[in-house]
A and B are shown apart, each in its own frame.
Chain A
């Protein structure tokens, strides 16, 4: 994982391209969030979900259709 300086540069660059203003304090808060959630997001991105069939027209009030 990148150090905080590298991460904040990355975030700042991304926001600049998106036209979003983010000051140093906001970037520091995001770095904390990144340290908590990025490992989990990365694990999700690497998880083997190829065999999981989607639920078309999912109805969350009901169990999944067989």
Chain B
């Protein structure tokens, strides 16, 4: 097996002990881009000279010489972020964002910028100024968004790790759609400086990798601290009865239930129902808060100037945001207060709260609706019901691959924990991997096994 197909931590270890030449690994990565990226459109910019400069100057950190990709959401010293969009409401500039500095200081080599859903405003990844990214499991299907290229690049084994961003599930959706692991850290814990929304209350940077151990390594780099590993024995698992489990595709429900059973057995867990107050309003509250954080950058003149190279959906929805009632946004803040208190109470009785990451597997790129027991929904509105809570409350959440559903597409289980308990989520995810003999995290899509 090529070193490119090995986990991030094994690449780092091989370089550290001299078993691998990082220059050769970089060249092999760029060759793999040429080979596989045309089918995935996961990587939208490469800069071999800058990558080689990073390698030449790499300090002896935990990722020394290891290739990684970063979402088109942060500036690099040689490239401004473009947010997957043809036009931006505010100018962006090259610079040293905090995720860039964290990667550089860890010795990592940034080998490419990863595609993303236009403006980060979608859970599918099927709209981008660069063209859609494609799911390595089926290139006619969505990779998930908004960190679409990060998910597709890791699942396609273009890189072993990528940095994404999660505002309303934007790391966890592509992780679930692409059969990899994605961590949405506790708000404020991961590197964010340099983001185009400096006062966001919902968005965090985070890792997308094949498994939890690699997420732990990359998250530690983004957090600026080593994340210790522990055992998730005696786990107290909370399950919210109702829609989060019932309004899913049957294969999604059954795969997640089976994974939960396996996790419970492996950790001698107890499982109990939990109730979260006002969960029914948390979806719209997370959308209202997340979608109005960009309003300070919007003006009639800027919106009127958007041309046809911006998608009709983005143009329309950005304008639509200006008609959201202010009272609704204010009340969304109250829902946030209520949900946070309710979650704090729930986490006195359970360690993690589990439900599917998304209710349906990845839809086709040309029809992004999903069929659920409750009817036909846009993937965006269906997914936000499952992903928005963690951003609204600030808690960490992780998506772990747990099987295949309709069309042989991956299914993800989401675990959410109390503020600051990111390590517990990683421990739980690793316990789940062991309980399922790693068959889901080690599964390669056919494209990556070629």
Interface residues of chain A, those whose CB is within 8 Å of chain B, are 11, 14-15, 18-22, 25-27, 29-30, 33-34, 36-37, 40-41, 43-45, 47, 49, 52-55, 58-64
What's the nearest-Cβ distance from chain B to residue A51, in Å?
9
CB of A47 within 8 A of CB of B320, answer no
Let me know if B109 is at the binding interface, CB within 8 A: no
Contact of A62 among B333, B336, B419 (CB under 8 A): B419
- Please encode chain B, from 378 to 398, with 1 for each CB lying within 8 Å of some chain A CB and 0 for all others: 100100000000000110000
A44 touches B319 (CB 8 A): no
Bound complex: CA of A10 vs CA of B292, how far in Å?
21
Separation of A64 and B420 alpha carbons in the complex (Å): 13
Inter-subunit contact B335/A44 (CB<8 Å): yes
Q: Check B188–A45 contact: CB distance below 8 A.
A: no
Which one of A41, A47, A54, A60 contacts B201 once the chains associate, using CB atoms below 8 Å? Answer: A60
Q: Are A26 and B344 in contact (CB under 8 A)?
A: no
Residues in A whose Cβ lies below 8 Å from that of B317: 29-30, 33
A21-B304, A61-B394 are contacts. A54–B323 as well, Cβ < 8 Å?
no
Residue numbers in A under 8 Å from B319 (CB-CB): 15, 20, 22, 26, 30
In the assembled complex, the Cα of A56 lies from the Cα of B303 at a distance in Å of 33
Query: Closest chain B residue to A36 by CB distance?
Result: B381
Would you list the 8 A-B pairs with minimal beta carbon distance, nearest first?
A60-B394, A29-B316, A61-B188, A40-B284, A26-B316, A60-B187, A19-B300, A63-B344
B315 on the A face (CB < 8 A): yes
Question: Inside 8 A of A15's CB, which chain B residues have their CB?
Answer: 319, 323
> Which residue of B304, B312, B328 contacts A41 across the interface (Cβ within 8 Å)?
B328
Cβ of B439 under 8 Å from chain A:
no
Q: Does B341 contact A (CB under 8 A)?
A: yes
Given A14-B323, A37-B287, A63-B418, 19 other A-B contacts at CB below 8 A?
A11-B320, A20-B300, A22-B319, A26-B312, A27-B316, A29-B312, A29-B313, A29-B320, A36-B381, A41-B328, A43-B281, A43-B284, A44-B328, A45-B325, A45-B331, A52-B334, A61-B420, A62-B420, A63-B340
Measured between beta carbons, the chain A residues less than 8 angstroms from B201 are: 58, 60
Q: Which residues of A contact B288 (CB under 8 A)?
A: 41, 44
Which residues on the B side are within 8 Å of A30 (C-beta)? Answer: 316-317, 319-320
CA distance A53 to B342 in the complex (A): 13
The one of B283, B334, B394 in contact with A40, judged by C-beta atoms closer than 8 angstroms, is B283
Tell me whether B327 is interfacial, beta carbon within 8 Å: yes
Contact A61 B331 (CB under 8 A): no
The 8 Å CB contact of B278, one of A19, A34, A47, A64, is A47
